[in-house]
Chain A
Amino acid sequence: MPEAILEVKDLHFSYEAGKETLKGISFSVPKGSYACVIGHNGSGKSTLAKCIMGLNSTFKGDVLLFGEKLSPSSVYRLRSRIGIVFQNPDNQFVGSTVADDIAFGLENTQVPTEQMEEIIHSFAKQVGMEDFLEHEPQMLSGGQKQRVAISGVLAMKPSLIIFDEATAMLDPKGKKEIYALVERMRQENPDLTLLSITHDVEEAANADQVIVINDGNIVYSGTPKEVFSHEKELKEISLHVPFFFALKRRLEDRGLEIPEDVDSLPLLEDYLCR
């Protein structure tokens, strides 16, 4: 088992006394993996995200990042190694142009001015925004703004990137762009650990690990295949199953045998057409 980048142990959190939003959450995310936390609105997943980022500091239990306990004294040090992409594309765009926004994080970590231009160019290129460096945020689409946010995060060379509902406010095209980008990031950098907090189950279909949260508790946790085999139970907590798993189940119900190694939509398509 590779080292755990993020470990959450028996996490409790309440906004008001006597009413717990998180009721003892425990999970760990190994290095280089892609974990998805899913849950419908009000399930506590955003609260969990805030706890991990150190924005909710009054939780009970432990959050270990890179093996170190998250506390008010370690939060700044630990945060420099994690990158966070938030939900609202506008509210995380700090600079007045794309280049300025990518530079913002670099300025904070005191990267020398002479190196900035090159870093900005290379990371803008990674997300396909190199032609938009002088553009102002109001000239960009939501998906483009999120890509800028991702490149700003990547430029900080984090070991862990947290996506806090990063695609929730995007149109389908923007969502696709971000999914493709995340997939590419994983291929290019196998050591990068990703944690996505989302209510979009399609995103979870590609994850290594899926954690389903409902009412402050972990309901299911495991590989997408394991988790999404509980179709009926998931429906009860207002979550549906990714299209691939739903389709596979329907086909199997009708007596079709689908081999184990067919584990994505394109593969299934190939298999059926054969």
Chain B
Amino acid sequence: MKAFTLGRYVPYNSWIHRLDPRLKILATILLMVCVFFNFPTWSMRYLMGGLLFAVISILVACTKISFRDVIGSLRHLWFMVIFLLIIYVLVPNGNHTLPEAWNLNGWVVYWDSFAEAGRILLRLVMMIELTLVLTASTKPLDLTYALEWYLTPLKVFHFPAAEVAMIISIALRFIPTLLEDTQRVMKAQSSRGVDFEHGSLWKRLMGVTSLVIPLFVSSFVRSEELANAMECRGYDPQAKRTRYHVLHFHWLDLLALVLSSALLAGYITVSVMNLDFFAMLGWAAL
């Protein structure tokens, strides 16, 4: 629990790690939009989905996330698979293009249902992988800086972008400290006879109360001392501050931006123009 960090940053010096966090957020959003395009036929849907999946898999490989972490992040998807299958098999499909899977006394199920469930699963997997690439390759603090940069235009409407970024970075900074506190209080309360793991739900809930209240008190004490310390070190939220970390936009960032935009443009074109590569090649498509 001590090694807990938000989003599981993987310290490694890959080219994805070196990209500007602002660009990484934008590129992630661009690729996420790609995930959600629809195409005219099943072959096209799976071809384009598969292509995108290949691209994202390459990104995952470049980030050097361990295979176990990737599988771990997808662990809870099995529930989704069952849920999707049940929904799509039970709900009749209107405009089917694939043959019948079975016909039990009038209960007709087409292969479309399975194809649809599979497509949604693929989308989910791609979304999860994309966020994994972003959080594994970017320090939470860098994400905060990027977020601050994106919020800067809102200053016109008196939105306190710098303060919000400061709040987020302090929250991130204190996560491990508060986790340590939690463990200490838990041990202290356990030694006084509070049982967090056994007994009825009500009893365990009461146990948690004995954890939450001391934790609340200690975090308030901490926040007051922190506020004093920050004030004494000259922090004034309204005042102008210089920055230690300055984000730099390099040619590699530009390249990544161009490539991800090009990918999105390609997907938009194919989707909007209803292109069917299989028909163009004269193959019988599904």
A residues contacting B by CB (< 8 A) are 53, 55, 76, 79-80, 82-84, 86, 88, 90-96, 99-100, 103-113, 116, 120, 136-138, 152-153, 156
Contacts and interface: CB of A to CB of B under 8 A. Distances in A.
B225 A88 contact: yes
B234 A100 contact: no
A100 to B, nearest CB: 6
Contacts of B180: 138
Interface of B: 2, 140-141, 169-170, 172-173, 176-177, 180, 222, 225-226, 228-236, 239-246
A79 B235 CA distance: 11
Given A55-B231, A84-B233, A116-B242, 15 more contacts: A55-B232, A79-B231, A88-B225, A91-B229, A92-B229, A94-B235, A100-B141, A104-B230, A105-B234, A106-B242, A106-B244, A107-B243, A120-B244, A138-B2, A138-B176
A154 B228 CA distance: 18
Among A108, A110, A112, A152, the most chain B Cβ lie within 10 Å of the Cβ of A108
Contact of A108 (B2, B170, B173, B239): B239
A107 B244 contact: yes
B196 to A, nearest CB: 23
Nearest to A115: B242
Nearest to A149: B229
Contact of B240 (A90, A94, A110, A153): A110
Contacts of B241: 107-108, 110
Contacts of B226: 91-92, 94
Contact of B232 (A84, A109, A113, A116): A84
Contacts of A83: 232-233
Contact of B233 (A94, A96, A116, A136): A94
